[in-house]
Amino acid sequence: MIRSLGAGKFKNFWKFWNPIWSYYLGKYIFKPLKIILSPALSLILTFTFCGFIHDAVIMLLRWNFELLLTPWFLLMGFCVVLSDYAKIDYSKYPWITRALINLLIIFSCLFIAYQLRIK
């Protein structure tokens, strides 16, 4: 968690966050999508799929349809693509600043997704 929160780029946060889950998403979702779609769109769809898997587990446990994590992950996927495209790099800042930036992005996306949640 220390390594992921201290990442100097938002895309690196995700590389460090859950490497095992990321490996399987990359291998079975991202790479096949990348064959037919652009890498950016493939990444956004992979994030969206990941969010849907999280939502599906919650829906199965609660027996209640609600999508919160799907739009949240969709927004974070957009942030990864946009920050990479804009070459946003905050790796020269102290760890606490990098962590706060990463958390700000994550919780901003969550706030927006909460406003858009589908019931």
Percentage with pLDDT > 90 across the chain: 78
| Sign, CA torsion 82/88/91/94 | negative
pLDDT of residue 14: 87
pLDDT of residue 103: 96
Contacts of 19 (CB under 8 A, 6+ apart): none
Q: What span, in angstroms and rounded, lies between the C-alpha atoms of 24 and 48? A: 15
Say whether pLDDT at 117 is over 80.
no
pLDDT of residue 87: 96
* Interval 35-80: pLDDT, tens: 999 999 999 999 999 999 999 999 999 898 889 999 999 999 999 9
CB 110 within 8 A of CB 117: no
**pTM, full prediction:** 0.90
